[in-house]
Every structure is written in C-alpha cells, then in structure tokens.
Amino acid sequence: MNTLSTDYSSISLQPGVPVPLGATWTGEGVNFAVYSTGASRIELCLFDEQGGHETVRLEFAERTDNIWHGFLPAPLGGPGLVYGFRVYGPYDPTYGLRYNGAKLLLDPYARLLAGSFTWHPSLMGHQEDPQQNLPDVNDSAPYNYKARVIDDAFDWGEDRPPAVPWRDTVIYELHVKGYTKLHPGVPERERGTYLGLAHPDVIAHLTRLGVTTVELMPVQAFLTEQVLSDKGLANYWGYNPIAWFAPEQRYAIDDAVIEFKTMVKALHAAGIEVILDVVFNHTAEGNEFGPTLSLRGLDNATYYKLETSSPGHYINRTGCGNTVAFGHHAVRRMVIDCMRYWVEEMHVDGFRFDLAAVQGRENGRFRTDAAFFKQVAAESSLRYVKLIAEPWDIGADGYQLGRFPPGWAEWNDLYRDGARGFWRGNPGVLGNFAERFAGSSDLFRASGRRPTAGINYIACHDGFTAYDTTAYNDKHNEANLEDNRDGHNHNLSWNCGVEGPTTDPGIIDLRERQIRNMMATLLLSQGVPMLLAGDEFARTQHGNNNAYCQDNDISWIDWSAAPQRAGLIEFIRQLLILRQRAPGLSRDTFLKGSLKQDHDHKDVSWLHPSGRELTDADWNDPHARVLGILNGHAFCDPHGTLNGHLLFLCNTSDEPVDFHLPEAKTGMQWQFVFDTARWQVNDPGRVLPSEICTVSPHSCVLLADSDVPSSVHCGLALTLK
C-alpha cells in the first residue's frame, strides 16, 4: 500500500472498539486499541510502506476505561499499513511518569515490525542529564521500529498439534539462525532463517535422531543493546525483547509471519512440536537511563516494577535493568493474549519461560498460587500446551526449582550439576546423582507432580556444550570483550588432561567416552531429556560459556563435524530408540525401590560392585566412584505387564572395576547393550561369559537380560558402533 499518495486532510479515526488490543484487520478496516492509564492524548501515526516517512497523525477520540481506541476504514486502513503511537501526558520520572509525545512508540501488540532500528540519542525520553527530570524533545521516529498491520490468513491445510505426551518427549534446544547458517544442504538464501529450519534435510536429521520437540531460543523481536553495538558485537541469543507478538525479522527472507508459520507447518508434518523460549520478564528499554521505545512511554508505572520509595528507579530482578510488573492485571492480560496468539495463530505447542520466577512474584515474594499461574490454567486455549519454567530470577529468594504449580515442567539445573559432578569424579555426590537419575522426587513428589515435571539436561545454550565440558577446566570468553569476567565459573567440567584442542589420541578417546557417559546417563534417567543442538556430534564453542554476543562461528553449528562424529550420533539415536521402546525409562510415577508380586527385581535397585544393595555407609562414602543401577521393570510385554531388566553400571574412577552381577530373570542371561569404553568393538548381542562384568575406567556399561522383547532387538544394534 502506498500511503504517500493519500490525501489525509479529511481523515479522522472512527470510534472503534476497545477489544481486542493492538491493530486488527476486520475486512472493512483496521481497529486500533491501546492501554494507558495516565495519558492525556494519544495519536496514531501513519508512515510510508518502508516506515521511513511519517505521513499523518490521527488522534484517538474514544476511551473506554483505560483503553484508547479508534477505527480506520479501508482502503487506507488495511494490511500493510505501517504505524506507531505518540502518547502525551505528565513527564515526571520522580513519580514514575515518563510520557513524552516526541517519542514514536511501538505498539506492544505489533504482529510484524516495519522499518529499521538505529541507536540514536533521540531514542532517550530524557535529556542528557536525567537528574534534571527534563524530557528530550527530539523526534525519535526516524530511528525506532514501527508496526505493520497484517492479515492472519494462512493455508494451514491439515496441520494438527503433534501433542506428544510428556513421558515420550525429547526436547532439542536450538537457535534458528545458528542451526542452519552453515548447513550445506540448505540453499544459501535460506540459511539461518525460519525456512532453513523447515528444509527437508534439517528435519530429516531431527526425525532420524529421535527428537520429538524443538525448543527455539527467542524468536520474539529483540534488540542488540547499545553497549554491544558500540563494540561491534550483537545480541545473538535474543533475550532482549522489544515486541512480544512479532517474530524476529532477521530470521526471515521477506515476511517473518508467513515464513514462521511455514516452518511450524513443516515441523508438525514431521511429528515435531515447536516450543518457544519466551522472555516476558523484562524488555529492551532497560533501566531509568534506557530508551523510550514502547511500554515506557505508554504507561511506565503500569508495565514496570518501580522502587516504592523511589519510583524514578526500576526494580531489577532480571539483571537487564527492568522487571515487568506481573502484579498488574493489564500486564498479565497482555502476556496471556500473547501466548494465545502464538498458539492459535502461529500454532506453537508450548513455551519455555526465561527467568520464570518473575511471573510468580506478588508483593515481592514468589507464590505457587500467583495470579498469573491461575489465569494461565484458566485459559482454555492454553490448557494442553507445554509450559516450562526456568525456575529462578536474580532477586532475593529467586531460586524456586520444584515450586511451580501442577501443569508446569521446570529446567532442572540440579540434574545437570549432579550428572557432570558424578562423571567428573567429585567426592560425596553418589546420593545426589542417584536422586537426579531417578527423577528428582525430592523436588516434585511432595506437590503431587510426576518425574516428567523435571527437564533434565547436560548442556544448554547458557554454559559449556557437552564437548566443552570434557575439554576445558575454565571458561574462555575473551571474544566477548569483557576481559573474561562474564559467564559463570561453576562449570563442573574436566579437560581430561589438556586445556582445549589436542592431538593426543588417549585424551581424544577419553573425551568422547565422557560425552557418551553423560549422554547415556541423560537418556536412561527418569524425567524429560533435553539435548543441546550439535551435542550429538560434539559441537564446541572453544570454551566460551556465555556466547550470547557471538553471532559467528563460535555459536553457529558446524555441520562439517557431523560425519566425523557419526558414531556419537548413532549412539544417541539408538539410546532414543531404546528409551522409546522401554516404558520403564520414562515413567509417570517415581521409582520406589519396591518389589511387586510376580517380579524378580524391584523397580529400582542401587548396587555395590560386590553385587549387594548399597548401605547407608556406601551412600555416605565420599570416595565412592562406582554405582550399579538395576531397572527391574524396563520393558512392557504385549499385555502391558512390565518385565525385562536393564542394568546400568557406572565407573567414574581411574581404575577398572569388577561388578558382580545380580541374577538375571530365571532362565535368562545378561548381554551387552553398550560399553562406552569398547565403542569400536562390533560384537552385537554378546552374552557375558561369567557373573562378573569388568567396567573400564571412566566408562559405563548397559546390560539387558535376554527377556528383552524381540521388537527391541530388531530396532537396536545391541553393541553400538
């Protein structure tokens, strides 16, 4: 639409309606509605198609409660129209009031961004010395994003949610750009985009590996902070949102909305769910010295948490300068509207909430029964989506793992630390490792939740990759230009003898074995496993454990490494086949160590190398480095009866250990499924010649009795290669 040729002299807004909020194409025009409690006047500003030239300002004449609204009939009001808001009112930051009509504001309900963003002093709502409490009067419109009206129509065909049950879920965390930027099978034009992720070669890798659910790092439109831009760096991860409803345009070739929907449709057709990592806890407007881009100029005191005794300052429970005020009903409404939009219009299957403790705080304290959690539970369109919390923020009492309400799953960083610490050989961790392996009942059982409430992982975007956990003792974040001060130091890593790259074949073998050990542990544990993209072929970030600003080959997935690590990919694939076919590895109830009638073994037994069950003294032995785990109800026969046993033997010590094996089921024998120290040996289905199994140093062995169903034998190469 070419608004430059339009005569605006006789145009005014019709009354319109207060719902829905945002800009809505009705077929006859566009209805605009925006929330602001303290504004004295609001103008709708229209721009040319590129968002570069402001053509007219139309004043909202109607207000219902705190919602300002107006209707612009077609042909002027229609899809493609580019717009923004100017909001007038009192400017007194001392009281949290930051209205400034000189600042062009982005609609918080914007579905698609237009124009471009450039850091410029005019984006600041205050003059250079904010202590003077004087507004900056320079127009920010040339430098801020605008919104573009869209038509939601899209041919979804027969698209349906895959609706993967939690117990069958395998999550794969990836970055939309980084995952395909270097993929040789994706056309160059599509690399690093939504369409790149929809490419058949990419989807084929995911499905062959056994992934059921991709978790996309932030795709809500975001900004690169000025401090990074000034250094020539970028906010690569995307945890700095500016428009929650709009898909990030830099991952699109043309139309981000259409291309995002195309991606979701392609993944769904392959049976793969799509979960979004959403950032509702803060925005890119930062602290009191930050820019006025959207919420700050619309209604600062409503949308952000301000210091009670000093409203000119922001409460910062996010480490990003501001905290979104979930205690206000308008904020909760906007976030739930946003979730509903992504589910109903964009067809996503769930959300992972960054710093989710913020959403549960009321009067400064976290509450399991917080109003936001209740409203999400009451929203019918969100009833069956997956909800995952990153269960902490940086505020006082911010660590809330295990305290989220029923219906929510949580990232379990205690699992990561338990598994890494165990395989590193840390003293005194045996009991903690067993608790994590068994599903973390200490965190979830008391509230009636299941093992699937825990999202288990060895590595995620934040921290070392799985390979770097075996190759670096210390972080190496020099490329971030913060003198290696950024990123945490609690990596629980072990470089196996050399820091970084090496040509020593012994160390290379040990590192690969350690990766297999950790991956085997992850995929044999109770709970929902999450893999970090590229860990299946030992991706490295060269020791950078905080690559949030590295939009380059430090962060991009190096697909050339995949053929060299085909064995590791196959190892993980076979483990996922085993997990799929062994219901006892992904239970809906916690392991109890109990013996049921007509079963040879307990549901779980924790074994000493001598063959007996562990005693209290064993659990408390700080020098213990060896553990046997017998899953006595691993498989399910055609009648639904659990039988067939798996025996997982772990040795984190520097010496080989002889395990005395428990008796297999009557008339059966133990046979190898895998031995991480004998990876290159092709000896499928090898039956143990005696009642002793020698487990090599820093390795694990999985045994199965010969009562394992034939369907599993057919699908698994029992000694993987």
> What is the pLDDT, as a whole number, of residue 714?
35
Do 631 and 543 fall within a single domain? no
- Token pair, residue 517, equals 């050990």
How far apart, in Å, are the Cα atoms of 252 and each of 148, 255, 260, 289? 15, 6, 8, 32
Asked, for residue 40, whether it belongs to a domain, the answer is yes
- Segment 366-384, tens digit of pLDDT: 999 999 999 999 999 999 9
Which candidate, 668, 637, 662, places its Cα nearest to that of 648?
662
Exposure pattern of 106-119 as b/e (b: 16+ CB <10 Å)?
bbbbbbbbbbebee
Cis check: omega of the bond before 20, within 30 degrees of 0? yes
Report the relative pairing of strands 454-457 and 408-411 from DSSP bridges. parallel
Q: Count Cα atoms within 13 angstroms, Cβ side, for 242.
A: 27
408 within domain boundaries: no
The string of pLDDT tens digits covering residues 435-494 is 999 999 999 999 999 999 999 999 999 999 999 999 999 999 999 999 999 999 999 999
Instruction: Please report whether residue 402 resides in a domain.
Output: no
- Annotation says 390 is catalytic: yes
- For every residue of 512-523, DSSP letters joined together read HHHHHHHHHHHH
Percent of the chain topping pLDDT 70: 93
Write the single-letter amino acid at 138. N
Residues 232 and 191: beta-carbon distance below 8 Å: no
Q: How many residues are recorded in the chain?
A: 721
190 pLDDT higher than 60: yes
Which pLDDT does position 226 carry in this prediction?
Answer: 97
- Judge whether residue 5 has pLDDT over 70: no
Catalytic residue flag (residue 354): yes
- Residues β-bridged to residue 56: 46
The pLDDT value recorded for residue 133 is 82
What sign has the CA pseudo-torsion 234, 240, 243, 246? positive
Q: Are residues 576 and 603 in the same domain?
A: no
Q: What residues form DSSP beta bridges with 635? A: 643
Decide which of 102, 133, 148 is a domain's last residue.
148
Summarised one tens digit per residue, pLDDT across range 375-429 is 999 999 999 999 999 999 998 899 999 999 999 999 999 999 999 999 999 999 9
Asked which of 103, 127, 148 is the last residue of a domain, the reply is 148
Q: Cα torsion for 559, 563, 567, 568, to the nearest 10°?
A: -10
Q: Is the pLDDT of residue 658 over 60?
A: yes
Q: Which domain holds residue 120?
A: 3-148
Among all chains, which residue has been given the structure tokens 């130091």? 489
Same domain for 139 and 20?
yes
What gap in Å lies between CA 268 and CA 250, rounded to an integer? 23
CA gap 521, 524 in Å, rounded: 5
Gap between the Cα atoms of 1 and 533, Å rounded? 41
Instruction: Supply 473's token pair.
Output: 């003792």
**Same domain membership, residue 603 and residue 557:** no
Q: Are strands 213-216 and 171-174 parallel, antiparallel or unpaired?
A: parallel
* Digit-coded pLDDT (tens) for 263-291: 999 999 999 999 999 999 999 999 999 99
% of the chain surpassing 90 pLDDT? 87
pLDDT at 706: 63
Assigned domain for 480 exists? yes
With respect to residue 198, please indicate whether it lies within any of the assigned structural domains.
Answer: no
Cis amide linkage into residue 609, ω under 30° from 0: no
Q: Last residue of some domain: 553, 581, 609?
A: 581
Handedness of CA 46, 48, 51, 52 (dihedral sign): negative
Q: How far is 58 from 1, CA to CA, in rounded Å?
A: 18
The answer on 571 and 473 residing in a single domain is yes
| CATH number for position 693 | 2.60.40.1180
151-161 average pLDDT score: 97
Q: What is the 3-state secondary structure (H, E, C) of 316-351?
A: CCCCCCCCECCCCHHHHHHHHHHHHHHHHCCCCCEE
Q: What is the pTM of this model?
A: 0.96
Q: Is the dihedral of CA 66, 71, 72, 75 positive or negative?
A: positive
Of 215, 390, 417, 512, the active-site residue reads 390
Torsions phi, psi for 8 (to 5 deg): -95, 0
Residues 478 and 458 in one domain: yes
Residue 397 φ/ψ region, left for φ over 0, alpha for ψ in the -120 to 50 degree band, beta for the rest: left
One domain for residues 537 and 637? no
Across the chain, mean pLDDT equals 93
Of 354, 512, 618, 675, the catalytic one is: 354
pLDDT at site 600? 64
Tally the domains of the chain: 3
pLDDT at 595: 66
Terminus-to-terminus CA distance in the chain, angstroms?
59
Pull the structure tokens for residue 570: 């196959």
**Is 90 exceeded by the pLDDT of residue 680?**
no
What sign does the CA torsion over 126, 128, 132, 136 have? Answer: negative
Looking at the structure, tell me whether residues 499 and 570 fall in a common domain.
yes
The predicted-structure confidence for 567-612, as pLDDT tens digits, reads as follows 999 999 999 999 999 999 999 999 887 666 556 678 899 999 999 9
Residue 679 — pLDDT band, cuts 50, 70, 90?
low
Q: Are residues 601 and 577 in the same domain?
A: no
- In this structure, are residues 594 and 602 in contact, taking their beta carbons and an 8 Å threshold? yes
Host H or E run for residue 387: strand 386-389
Residue with tokens 């309900």: 109
Q: What are phi and psi of 33, to 5 degrees?
A: -145, 135
CA 619 to chain centre: 34
Do 23 and 149 touch, CB atoms closer than 8 A? yes
Residues 12 and 139 in one domain: yes
Whether the predicted pLDDT of 648 surpasses 70:
yes
pLDDT of residue 175: 98
| Local structure of 122: helix, strand or coil | helix
Helix or strand run (H / E) with residue 456: strand 454-457
* Same structural domain, 571 and 596: no
pLDDT exceeds 90 at position 717: no
Strand runs (DSSP E) across 48-135, as ranges? 54-59, 62-64, 67-73, 82-88, 91-92, 97-98, 113-114
Predicted confidence at residue 664, as pLDDT, reads 76
354 lies in some domain: no
Residue 68 resides in a domain: yes
CATH number of the domain encompassing residue 22: 2.60.40.10
Co-location of 507 and 628 in the same domain: no
Give domain status of residue 518, yes or no: yes
